[in-house]
Each structure stands twice: as structure tokens, then as C-alpha cells.
Chain A
Amino acid sequence: MEYRTRPIDGGESVIFADVQAWAGTPGGIAVWLTTLFALLFGTMLFSVDRRIVLGREAALIALLAAVASASRVLFAALPNVQPVTLLILMIGLHLGARRAAAVAVLTALISNMALGHGPWTFYQAIGWACVGSSAAVLRPLLVNWDGTKVRIGALAILAFIWGFLFDWIVSLSALALYQSFEAFLAFIIAGLIFDAMHAVGNVLFTIWLAPSLHHLLWLHRRHEAGRWFPNLLDETVTREAFIAEADAAAKQLENPLAGIARLDGED
């Protein structure tokens, strides 16, 4: 770092030192943190857009985001209790980190159309993207060996941990609004009870919803199991060849009854 702060012509180093000092203040941290999260948010948007190739993918992401947003708005009356975190965990588990990130971005955008946008939109999107990615990474621990059953205990522990972590990520947006370390710490401490409600809510939702959600998403994966094989099956080819041969043979016989003498009516 020596070479960066070495005075070159006096003026530049003073400006840089000022910027450095400002970046360490709560106001500075708020600005660069929000800028960083906004950039991450934008990068996620572009990367998701680039990776949507199939119409079904676009619609699936849309549906899951709509369900997550609707459930978030539906449970808005209960402070910090909502099934979005579990839903995104399940999406990450079954459909991967990218789709979970896409759903996270859209959920933050759509649900905040009803609940109110703000700098926290970026933080929520990034927080949920992290939730989905963690489930994708920890998939071997969360499902049984062949992926047909979800391990409720492990999932509940992860959901419980994310109840706190997610809230703390989103709480970083409070730094941008209050611009004071003391206020931010007070905000975090005062919010612990709400974080705990989120975590406990996640556990309850896991017990209630996770088995059915697992079954549903597994059914969705079945839809993707179809394949197109360029050649017809051997049995089909054999059967058609047999039918064609029989047809050809039938055409060769002009009148199959020609050689049979009629007995009735003969004198």
C-alpha cells in the first residue's frame, strides 16, 4: 500500500486519502456497499437473462417467482414469517443455483411492487440468491442417495440458520438509511427477535411444506425426462415390415377363393 499513498504531486494523495477516509465512515460504507450490491444485482440480471433459452424455463421461473411473491404478500401481516426462504431453498435444491437466483431477483422485484421498493430490494435479491446457492451446494446433505426423499432435519437446520443470516444481509441496507454504526448495531440487536421469528417460521414451513414441495418439483423434473431418438424402435420397423409384406402378398393373390370348388347347389 506504500506506493499508493506516496505523494506524487501532493494533490492526488490528499484526494485519495480523503476518499479512503470517507470510505471507512458509515456514510462511505453505505455508499460502496449499496453500489456493490446493486452491481451484483445487475450482473445477476444479465447472467440470468442470457441463460434463459427455453420458453418453459422462462415460464417456470416466472411461476415460482409469482408464487413466492404472492406468499410473501399473503404472510405480510405476520412479522418476518414467510415461506419465501424455504421455497428458494427447495428451488436451489432441485433446479440449481442459477434458477434460484433468477427466482430471487424476480421475487424481490415483484413482491416489493406491493410492499415497497428501496435499497433493500438489492440486498433481499442477493440474500435469497445466496440461500438458493447454498441449497444447491449442500444438495448431497439435504436429499437421500437417489434424490427421491428430502432430509427434513438437515433442511430445517439450514432454513433456521438462513433465518438469521438472510436478515443480517438485508439489515445492511439499514446502514445506508441510518448512516451510523451505533444505529446499525442497535437495529441488528433490536431485530434479533424478528430474526428468531423468521428462523422458527422457516422450520415450521419446512415441516409443513417441504415434503409436498419436493414431490412437486420432482414431478416437474419428470417432465424434462422426455427424449427424442432419431431412429424408430426395432420392434416398430419389424412390425411395419411384416404388415407391408403381408399386404404385398395379399395383392398378389387376385382371388384367394378361386381354387375352392363350391359344393352347394351342384348337381
Chain B
Amino acid sequence: MGPPRHFRLPFLVLVVVLPLMLEWQQLAAWGGFLFLWSAYMVGPSSLYRWLRVWLPLSILYGLILLLFSGTGDWPRILLLMGRLLIALLGMQILTWSVPPSDVVRAFEWALPRLGVSLAISLRLVPRLERSAKWRLETLEERGFIDEESGLKALRTRASIWPGWLADSLDHAHDLGDAVQARGILAPRRWRHSVKRRIVQLALGEDVREDGVNPYHFSDSVQLGLDLEIRLPDGRCIGRHKELLRGGQIVLLRGPSGCGKSSLLRVIAGVSPWQHPVSVYGKVHISGHPSLGEVNLAEGPFTEAISCWIPQDPDRHGLAESVHREFKIARRLSGPWTQNEMLECLREWKLFDKLRSQPENLSEGEQQRLLLAAHLDSAQPIWLLDEADVHLDEAGFIQLGKAVVKHRARGGLVIVVAHRHARWERIADYEIDIGDSLPPQDYPSVWVERGEEIGTPPQGDLFSHDLKPVRAGDLILIQGANGSGKTTLLREWSGTSGLPWLPTSPDRRLLGMTIEEELNLQHPILFEQHLAGEEVQIPDAERIQLQQSALRLDLGLSHLSMATPVHDLSTGERRRLSLLPVLMRKPAIMLLDEIDHGLDDLTLADLIEELNIRRKSGCAIVITSHSPDLMAWTKVSGGRVWNIEQGQLTEVSL
């Protein structure tokens, strides 16, 4: 409806300059035309909203001119006001007609790196808003808002902004690493090799932009590691000495926080200091199809060194739609067609999400999108950092197929996973980092069920004919990605006032440092923190003791109070976010993908803690895709619910 794309810049000049030259009659005609155009384009209500802001402001400016310029020539002032308003409307028409993605595209063409920044920025603005909402929701869930006065509530709300900004900074680091690892800042090669591309086109060759055949690697791809990763306090979090070859699937195992993700970051060629770590030694890749020999210590590199799929898919997507995410990813990995993209989306069961915004997808769907768009078959080394955690069985099979196919092409796949059983079947080689963990059995306990304490919500989104939840119940909810498991927990929490723990720990962490976070986990602790050590608030000591005991049980007691929350590993953050839920002792605990980011030992400890809660009459509701947790639920006399198309059904065991 707006001016055509190629006419936008001349239109901008026209709408600003033309009103300045027109007199009353022509100005009225031009203004009338613009008003009709904009009403047709965005509707009268949008036009009215625009007028509501700018008309009073224009009148205000006119009055200021009349009062202060001393001219008294009010028809002239009126004309100036009219010109101002019409010029503003013209510029607004342009703003309405140019979607932000077009602005990003224009930047990508002329200023590619700033274009990337702009794309990320536009993606971050709504996320910042959502992140603030999660934090307020968390405050409310922890009982901060209800009982307090307006001023107190305002002060509490204001206290969470450093944590909010710290989380956003960390998110920016993650996004920046994703940009670096995918080679998005690298100059586009076709611009510099037009001749070669013409020759390739004439010969009918199907090759990458940098001249590499993406469908097969020689078996000489090798990755040599001889390095040590250390924290600033001198603690070693990884000593690696390996020679890995193409045509292998390597499974990396180790407890949470042992440095698995840091190692993958080093190999991916992104900044290894997600936390301020030092790296000693060498990492060498030989036989890379486009870069040849690569010494990673010489980085950072603008080109992609390997294909790195990091944890937490919602923190690594760049574009504002599924379609754009694909376009950005595939632009880098060589020639591709629209049909290939659609085929890929079909394979990953994302075809109907083509126009969706990634942030509106479930965690599992976001993970599928990340894998579908960014598993680059032209890169010889794939680094999968817990890439399977959010995937259902169909998703995992699809990932398995892709991985096996890549191995057959001669690629090297390094997998980090906490649930090893599925990977051990296809892995060629296993590496234990840190102290190797003995195989863990999840402790099971048989609990007598008590009285009815609740039922899941019913309404537009969900329907069911389930028996009520009883005290001591253990319920596992299963279902495909995008079937609504997380939505169910959120709705249930909202309608019954129960605390729930989302998969991503960052949605439930409020503080910038561990000390701030612990103070913000309970209103009384926060009050005690504000009052200082001189004043002793009743119950504060008891709650502090309870918190300390739980920290010990969850393996968090060794962490320093001054440590920034985002320097912790995903598993540690996950446990920290679980602490206030356990402290509240609710009748029903709603836990989304409880095993995410936890190693077997920590998960077994957590399950032990949940068993104790069940014995004391608390019902536990969890979601998971893990077959191990399904088996544990059956052994513990739990119930399994299946969710499909909004219908919840009980699965007979």
C-alpha cells in the first residue's frame, strides 16, 4: 500500500520538501491526498491514533511560535503548522509501509555488519520486554507483590533491573558467539569471485560459494587437541589431549560444570571466555575444505570453522521469522533453492511454522529450527551441545539420521549429552571429561497417595477427563514438540497459583550475582537484606538455614556469593532456579523438562529430593522426553499423561 520499494527514498525527499514550498490550496490538496492514502493503508483507527499524538503537538508548537516569535502573523504560523503536520504524515506513511525486516535487508546489502546488529537489535527489543515480564511474574510467584504497599512493590520491582540487564548482556554474548561461529560477519565471497562463479555456472558445477563440494569430505579431516582450560582462580576445568578424525561420532561425557561446553566453544572458534577463562595449548584442524589448516589460537575468525549448535535455542536464533532464519543460514552455506528449504522444514516437521516468529515456538520447535537451519552439511566438524534435550522421539530420530549421514560423508561429529543411552548406540568413541561418573540408578520410592489436591485446567486450550491429582502423586506428561506441555504447566500455575519451573533457568533468576539471587528468592530474605545486619527480622534466620540446607543438597554450597549468576553452568543455574520452588513447599510442584542441563549424578540427587517431597504429601508433575524418566515414573508407581491436540489422556501402565 505504501510507496514502491524503489521509490521510497525519492518519496521521503518529496514528502519533506514539497510541503515547504506549497501554499494553502495546494497544501490542502496534498494533505487530503496523504490522509486518504494513509487511511486506506492502515485504517482510520491507526490514523486517528497518530493524529492524537501529533495534532496536539503541532498546535503546541504553533502556540509557542505565536507567543514567543513576536510576529502576531497567525495565518503564517497556521501555514507553518500545516506544513509540519503534512510533512510528518508523509514520513509516517513511509514508516508504516516499510517493515523493519526491509530496513534490515537494506542494511545487509549496504552495511552488512551493522545490518546484523540491527537484525539482532530488532529481535532483542521484544525479548527484553518478555524478559522483564518473566521477572515480574517470578516476583509475584515468590510472594513479593501481593502483600506490599505500592511504594514497596515499586522498590522491589526496581531492584530487579540489574539482573535483567545482566541476563540481556549474557544473551547478547550468546548471540554474538552464534554470529561469529556461523561466519555471518564474513564478507560475501561471491562479490569477490564473480569470474569464478561465472565459470562454475557455465560448467554447470554445483559447488559452494567458496568452491567446495558440500556433499563429501576427504577422510583426512583431523582435529588435534592439546589444551587446558582454567578459571581465573587457577582451577582447571578441562585438560584435553586427543586426535579425532573424520568419519567418527564422538560422545563427550562429564559432570555439570566440567568444561564440556567451553571445549566446544574453543573448537567452534568463538570466544572461549564465555566465563573469564584462560586457554593454554593448541587446537589444530587439518583438512578443512575451505580453510585448509587452521590453528584456532590465531582466531577469532570471520569465517565459520565448524557447525556449532549451542544449548538454549531461544538464545541463539537471529531472525524475526522461521523463513528469515533459514535465509540467513543458507545464504552462508552455498547455493540453495526454496524447494530445498521447504523439504527441510517438512523433514523437521516445521512446515506449518514457516511464517511464525521463533519466539512463539515451543522450546522443542526452536531446537528443531536451529538444527534444520544451521546443520551445515558443508562444514566437516559438527559440534552438538546437548542438542537433543528438547527433542521428542521423532525429532531425535531426525537428528540421528542427519548425524549418521554426516559421518558417512566423512564428517566429524562431537556430541555433548547427559542422557548417554541414546547416543551410545551410534557413537564410535567416548571421552570422559573430569571424574568419570558411575552409572546412576534413579532412586525410586513407593508413596501412598493421599487426598485430592487439584486438577489440571480445562478451557479453550485443554480438555480432559482425568482423575484428580492426589497428595504424593508423581505425574509425567509426555507429548510431541509443540503439543502444549509447557503451556499446560503455565496455565495450571496461573489458574491455581502454583509455582512452576520453566525449562530455561534464566526465566526464574532475578539477581546479578548469587548473593542478590538468594536474597530475592524470598520476601523475608529481601527485607532482611534491606534492613541490614543490625536489624533481625523474625523468621529470616530460619528461612536462611532452610535455604542453606537445600543449597547443600543441590550441590550449590561451594559457589562464591560474589559469582555472577551467568558465570555458572546451565546445570548450576537450573538448580539455583529450583531452590525457591523447593523452599515454598507447594501442594503440587510443576517442573518442565526437569532433566535439562543436569548430569546423572545431580539428577539422581534431585530425584531423591523430589521423593522426600512426595513422602511429605507434595504431588510432582514433570514433563520430559527422556525414556529413563519414563521408566523411573513407572517404577515409582507414577502416572503418565499424554497430550495431543489439547486433549489430555491417562496412559495405562
Interface of A toward B, CB cutoff 8 Å: 45-46, 48-50, 52-63, 65-67, 69-70, 102, 105-106, 109-110, 113, 116-119, 177-180, 182-183, 185-187, 189-190, 208, 212-213, 215-216, 219-220, 222-233, 236
Contact = CB atoms under 8 A, between A and B. Distances in A.
A266 B69 CA distance: 122
The binding surface of chain B is classed by DSSP as helix
The binding surface of chain A is classed by DSSP as helix
B156 interface: no
Interface of B: 16, 20, 54, 61, 64-65, 67-71, 80, 83-84, 87-88, 91-92, 94-95, 100, 103, 111-114, 116-122, 124-125, 128-129, 158, 161-162, 165-166, 168-169, 171-181, 184-185, 226-228, 230, 232, 236, 239, 270-282, 297, 299-300, 302, 512, 564
In this complex, the member of B117, B174, B181 whose beta carbon has the largest number of chain A beta carbons within 10 angstroms is B117
Contacts of B273: 223-227
B121 A116 contact: no
A155 B614 CA distance: 55
B278 A102 contact: no
A182 B512 CA distance: 52
Contacts of A52: 113-114, 116-117, 185
Given A55-B181, A215-B512, A63 B280 contact: no
B199 to A, nearest CB: 31
B177 A56 contact: yes
A40 B278 CA distance: 40
A128 B114 CA distance: 18
27 contacts: A46-B111, A50-B113, A52-B113, A52-B185, A54-B300, A58-B113, A58-B120, A58-B176, A58-B179, A63-B169, A66-B121, A69-B121, A102-B114, A106-B117, A116-B54, A116-B95, A117-B94, A118-B87, A186-B68, A187-B61, A190-B67, A208-B158, A223-B271, A223-B273, A228-B279, A229-B280, A233-B280
Given A118-B88, A178-B65, A219-B166, A67 B120 contact: no
A59 B124 CA distance: 10
Given A216-B165, A224-B273, A233-B280, A116 B91 contact: yes
Contacts of B174: 59
Given A66-B122, A222-B276, 7 more contacts: A58-B185, A105-B114, A110-B121, A118-B88, A182-B69, A223-B275, A226-B271
Contacts of A57: 176
Contacts of B185: 52-55, 58
B178 A55 contact: yes
Contacts of B226: 232
Contact of B111 (A45, A66, A186, A226): A45
Contacts of A236: 228, 236, 239, 280
A109 B121 CA distance: 11
A219 B272 contact: no
B276 A61 contact: no
Nearest to B164: A67
Given A106-B117, A110-B118, A66 B91 contact: no
A219 B16 CA distance: 45
Nearest to B87: A177
Given A212-B161, A232-B281, A56 B118 contact: no
A144 B473 CA distance: 58
B280 A225 contact: no
Contacts of A227: 273, 278-279
Contact of B297 (A219, A220, A228): A228
Contacts of B88: 116, 118
Contact of B272 (A110, A113, A226): A226
Contacts of A58: 113, 116-117, 120, 176, 179, 185
Contact of B280 (A60, A180, A186, A232): A232
A117 to B, nearest CB: 6
Nearest to B132: A70
B380 to A, nearest CB: 21
